[in-house]
Structure 1
Amino acid sequence: QEPFQTTVAFIYLPQAVGQYFPESTGIPSRVQFHFYELNTYVVSASVTNATIKDLKHPIFVTLQHHKATQPKDKVQCVYWDFSKNRQGGWESSGCRENQTSATHTTCFCDHLTHFGVLLDVSRTPVSEINEKILTVISYLGCGVSSIFLGISVLTYAAFRLRRDYPSKILLNLSLALLGLNLVFLVNSWLSSFGSRGLCVAVAAAQHYTLLASFTWMGLEAVHMYFALVKVFNVYVPAYILKFCILGWLPLVIVSLVLAVKMDAYGSALYHENIQPLDGSEQCWLQDDVVFYVSVVAYVLLILLCNISVFVVVLVQLCNIQPPGSRTGLLRDLRGVTSLTFLLGLTWIMAFFTWGPAKVPLLYLFAILNSLQFFIFVFYCLMKESVQKQWRIHLCFGRFRLADHS
C-alpha cells in the first residue's frame, strides 16, 4: 500500500524473497532492516543466511525528502555497492526513479524485457547486462521486421498478388506476425500508463497474435503437404475460408482465459499488487499453468507438425532434383532457409534455453525470431511476380515495365 505521508522510509519486499530462505540450516532466517540518516534518508533490508539476487519482481523503496524538492531539482536513486573502488560507493546502474514528488521518491530496479520472454520455457531471469543487450536486439529486430512485414502486406494486398492459395495464406501469416511485432513494441509503453485494464488488454493481444502467428505457420505446413505430397485427389470446399476460420481461431483460447482467469494476464508488478508507473515491465501471462498450457503446449504441438512436414518437403525436393546440379543445390538451400522461417522452426530454440545454454540460445533466439523480414526477402524481394508488379507500378524510366495482362 502507499506509505503514510509521515513515513520517512518505506520498503516493499516481494513474496519471492521467501524462496531464498535456507531450509535445513537449523538457524532461522530473518529479514533485517537498517535505517540511517545522512544528507538523505537511507534504508536497507537483508536476509540472514541467504543471498537475494535476480529477483523477477522488483523491490520498491520510498524515501521522504529532508526538504521539499523544487521542479528543477534532480532526484537520483542509488544504492551502496560494497565492492566499488575497493572501499564501497554509491551506484545507480539498474535502479531508477519510479515516482517522485515534492516530498517522496519511489525507486525500484529495472526489469527489461526481450523477445524471448514470450516463449521463455524456464521462466528464469538472466543478468542485467544480458537483459539490456537482448532488449536492444529485440526492439531493433521487431522494428525492422514490422516495416518489411508491412511492405509485404501492402504489396500482396495492393498489387493483386493474393489470387492463389499460397499468397492468401502468406498474407494472413504476415498480418499475424505484423500484429505480434507491433504489440510487442508498444507493450512496455502502454503498461506505463498504470492502468490494470489496459495491461490485461495488451497482454491478451500479445497472447492472441502469438497464437495466431503459429496457427498460420501450421496452416502453411498443411498447405505444403497438400501441394507437394497429396498432389492429386485432394479437394476441400471453401478452402481458404476454412483456413481463415482456423487461422484466427485462437481468439477463442484468449477469450476463455479472460473469462476463466483474467488475473493470468498482467505484469509482474500487477501480479504483486503494485501499480507500475514506468515502462520497464511488459504485460504478459503471469500464471505459469496458463502459460504452459495455452502457449508452450500449443506452440510445441504446431512445431512438431511443422518439423514433420519440413522433413517430407526436403525428401520431395531431393527426389525431384537431378543429382550433382550446382544450380539446383543453391535453389534447394534457398528453399530450405525460406521454409525454416516460414514454418517458424527457429522458435524451437526456446525449448532448450536451460542452464548454461540459456544465454547463448536466447541471443540466437532473439536475433532470428525478431528478424521476420526474411519473409519479405524470400517471398517479395526474390519473387518474380512481385518484382514484375513493383516495376509496373513503382519504377520509372527504363526500370518501368509496360502494363499488360
Structure 2
Amino acid sequence: DNSQTMSRKCTEEGSWKNITNCTSTVLKNIHEELKNLIDSGNFTQNVPKLVKKLADASQSEVKTSTDLSVSVETLKIIAEASLENNVSIKTTVMSDFLATTSNLTTEESISLYSTNDKNNSAASQLMQAVELFTSALQPDKEKFEITHPNVQLKGIMLAQENLTSYEQNFDIFNNISVVINKSNFDDLPRSYSVIITTVVYNHLAEVLPIFPKEFENYYVNSIIHSTSVRVNKKNKKDVHIKTVFELKNKSTNLQDVACVYWNFSQEEAAGGWAKEGCQTKTSKQSVTCSCKHLTSFAVLMSKSSLEEPGYIEMITYLGLGASIGSLCFCIFIELLVWSSVVKTKISHFRHMALVNTAISLLLADLCFLSTSFDFVQQVPYVCIAITFLNHFLYLSLFFWSLCQSMMLLHQLCFTFSWLRRKIYMPVSFIVGYLFPLGIAAGTFLYFHPKNKYHNTTLCWLDKKEAFYAFAIPVASIVLINLLALIVVITKLIRPSVSDTLNADEKYAVKQIVKAVLVLTPIFGLTWAFGFFLLLDFPKEFHNIFK
C-alpha cells in the first residue's frame, strides 16, 4: 500500500527510467507517528515500540529510494530525540535499531542509494544515526554483542578500577581488529565508568559518496567501522585508536593508500572523507590505521595503479629476447650434435630432459611476450588461453627439471641399477607434461567459474588464490631439487672406499660434477629468488628481483 505520486523520467534515448517517488504507507505512518509522539511529549516511553515497528516494516516495505530516505530520516529523528531526552537505550532496543540498519544495507538495497548527491547522502545520515543512537546505549552486561546479516556491534562496559585495554576482533565480514590502549583512561577518577562500542558495516562502504575532490580517484577497500567511547554517559572523542583492516581487494597496489575517517561536517550536511590525525602503515594484505580521535573509519585505495618505471619494461623485453634467442640456439645445437653426444643411457636421459626443458621455457616465453600485443586484450578468451598456456608451460619446465635431478640422484645412489629407456621415457613424459597439464586444467576449472582465475592486464594467474596453484608446486620442486643437489654433492665429496680410482671412474666423477654445476640453474634453484616477490619488501627490492 503506497501513497504520494509515482513518476517516471524519459531519457534522451527515448527509454523510460524506473524512478519512482512513491512511498510505503506503512513507513510514512511510522514517520508521522514519531513526529506526533515528539510533539506530544510521549516519545520516551514509546521508543522501544517505534524502533520495533520500523525494524519489522523495513524487512519488506523498502522498495524505492523514497522508502529508503523516509526510513533513514526516521532513524535519525529517533536517535536525535533519544539524546535530547536522555533516553537510556537497552540492548534489545539497540538490536532492533541495528536490524533496520541491516535491512537498509542489503545487497538488494544498494541500488536505492545515490552516491553523487553530496548535499543529501542517505548513507551518511544512516551512519550518523547509528553513532548517535549508540551513544544512548546502556547495556545490562559487562560484555555485549549484537549481530545482524549486514551489521555487527560489540562492546564492553567497565568501571575505571577494572579497566583494561580494549581489543575487539570482527570476522563476520572482512577481518578487522580494533585496539584502544588502557593509557587513554589513566587520568579518570576511580568512580567513573567507561562504555566502549564498535559497529562494523558490511555494505555501507559501497554506497557512501567519495568526497572531497582530493579522494575522487579513490575507492573504499575495507569495511567501515565506527567506535565510540562514553565516560559517565558523556562522549569522549580524544582517544588514540589503532585499527587493522583486512583489504577486500588484496591484489591492489599498496603504494597509494590512505586511512580516513568520515567527517560529518564536510560538504554541508552530507559529510566527506578526511585523513587528518591518522597514520597509515601497510603490510601485504592489511592496513594498520592509528588515529587520535574517534568516529567512523575506513581505508581508501587509489583506482589507478602506479606505473612501473620505464626501465623495468625495457629490462623485461631485453631479458625475454635474450632468453628466446639463447633457447633457440640451444635447441639447434642439441639437434645438430645429438648423434655425437648421445651415446650412453645417462647422456640420452640428460639431453632429452634438457631439450624438453628448453622447449617448455621457449614456448612459455613466447606466450608471455604475446601479452604485449593489443589484440590479446581485444579478442575474447585469448587472454584466458595465454594464462592457461603460461601456467602449463612454466610448470612443465619445473617438472622436467625434477626429472633430471631425480635421474642424477638415482645414478649416484644406485650405481649398479641402471634405468631402462622404455621405463624412463614414458615416466618422464607423464611427469613432465601430464602432471602440469592436470594442475593447470584443475586450476582453470576451479577458479574460472568464480571469476578468480586470471589477471586480465597481465594474462597471468590471479594473485589472490589461483597463483598458489603455480607457486606451491614450484616451491616443492625447487626444495626437492635442492635436497637432491645436496645429496649429489655429498656423494661426490665423500672419500672412496678404495684409495685408487681407475681412469674411467675418475672421468665419470668429473663428468657428473660438471653436469651438476652446469645444470644447477636448470634444477630451478636460481628461480627461488622469484619467491622474494611474495614477501613484504619495499618496492625497490621487488624491482631488483623482477
* TM-score, reference length from structure 2: 0.41
**Partner residue, 2:324:** 146
1:360 equivalent to 2:544? Answer no
Cα distance between partner residues in 2 of 1:358 and 1:179: 30
Higher helix share: 1
Corresponding residue number in structure 2 for 1:318: 493
Calculate percent identity across the aligned residue pairs: 22
Preserved CA contact (<8 Å) 1:169 1:216:
yes
Q: Does 1:346 align with 2:534?
A: no
Deviation (angstroms), 1:241? 2.6
Match of 2:447 among 238, 241, 261: 261
State whether residues 357 and 397 of structure 2, in contact with CA within 8 Å, keep that contact through their aligned partners in structure 1. Answer: yes
Alpha-carbon distance in 2 for matches of 1:109, 1:240: 50
Q: 1:55 to 1:31 in 2, by over 3 A?
A: farther
Match of 1:76 in 2: none
Mapped pair 1:288 → 2:464: yes
- Give the alignment of 1:119-198 within 5 angstroms: 128-129=308-309, 132-161=310-339, 163=342, 164-189=348-373, 192-198=376-382
Quick one: distance in 1 between partners of 2:375 and 2:253?
17
How far apart, in 1, do the equivalents of 2:315 and 2:398 lie? 22
Q: For 1:189 and 1:284, locate their aligned partners in 2 and report how far apart those are by CA, in whole Å.
A: 15
1:248 corresponds to: 433
CA distance in 2, matches of 1:5, 1:244: 63
- Pairs within 5 Å for 1:1-80: 31-33=209-211, 55-56=252-253
1:216 aligned to 2:396?
no
Contact 1:349 1:361 survives alignment (8 Å): no
What amino acid sits opposite 1:186 in the alignment? S
> How far is 1:317 from its partner?
2.9
Give, in angstroms, the shift of residue 352 of structure 1. 3.7
1:227 maps to 2:411: yes
Q: What is the CA RMSD across the aligned residues, in angstroms? A: 4.6
CA 204–320 in structure 1, closer or farther in 2 if over 3 Å, else same = farther
CA distance, structure 1, for counterparts of residue 338 and residue 399 of structure 2: 25
How many Å apart are 1:320 and its aligned residue?
Answer: 6.9
SS of the residue 1:238 aligns to: helix
1:287 and 1:357 map into 2 onto residues whose CA distance is: 18
Q: Contact (CA 8 Å) 1:180, 1:206: kept in 2 or not? A: yes
- Whichever residue aligns with residue 143 of structure 1, its letter is G
Go from structure 1 to structure 2 and tell me whether the alpha carbon gap of 1:111 and 1:232 turns closer, same or farther (over 3 Å shift).
farther
Note the alpha carbon deviations across 1:71-91, whole angstroms, 9 max, x for none. xxxxxxxxxxxxxxxxxxxxx
For residue 210 of structure 2, give the secondary structure of its aligned residue in structure 1. strand
Contact 2:386/2:459 (8 A) holds in 1 = yes
Q: 1:197 to 1:57 in 2, by over 3 A?
A: farther
User: Structure 1 length as normaliser, TM-score?
Assistant: 0.53
> How much does 1:359 deviate?
4.1
Residue 229 of structure 1, CA deviation: 2.5
> Deviations along 1:273-297, whole A, 9 cap, x unmatched?
xxxxxxxx211111633322x2121
- Give the C-alpha shift of residue 188 in structure 1: 3.3
For the residue of structure 2 that corresponds to 1:32, the secondary structure is coil
Q: Shift in Å at residue 167 of structure 1?
A: 1.0
Contact kept, 8 Å, 1:190 with 1:198, in 2: the verdict is: no
1:364-403 equivalent positions in 2, closer than 5 A: 365-366=545-546
Q: Which has the higher strand share?
A: 2
Tell me: CA distance 1:334–1:222, structure 2 relative to 1, closer, same or farther (3 Å).
Answer: closer
Q: CA deviation at 1:170?
A: 0.6
- Cα deviation 1:142-184 (Å, max 9, x = unaligned): 2101101011112212443474221111100111111121111
TM-fit CA distance, 1:301: 1.2
The residue type paired with residue 266 of structure 1 is: H
Match for 1:286: what amino acid? D
2:415 is paired with a residue of what secondary structure? Answer: coil
Which residue in 2 is equivalent to 1:72? none
SS in 2 for 1:261: helix
Structure 2: gaps spanning 5 or more residues = 1-10, 14-115, 117-172, 181-197, 226-242, 257-302, 343-347, 500-509
Residues 196-219 of structure 1: per-residue CA shift (max 9 Å, x gap): 411110110110111101101111
C-alpha displacement of 1:257? 2.4
Contact 1:33–1:45 (8 Å) recurs in 2: no
* 1:325-380 deviation line (CA, Å, top 9, x unaligned): xxxxx9999665423212010122233442347743652x44xxxxxxxxxxxxxx
1:84-117, Cα deviation, whole Å (9 max, x unpaired): xxxxxxxxxxxxxxxxxxxxxxxx84666xxxxx
Distance 1:55 1:31 in 2: 21
> Is the Cα–Cα contact under 8 Å of residues 184 and 206 in structure 1 kept in the other structure?
yes
Q: CA 1:234–1:333 in 2, change beyond 3 Å: closer, same or farther? A: closer
Alpha carbons of structure 1 residues 240 and 232: separation in structure 2 relative to 1, 3 Å: same
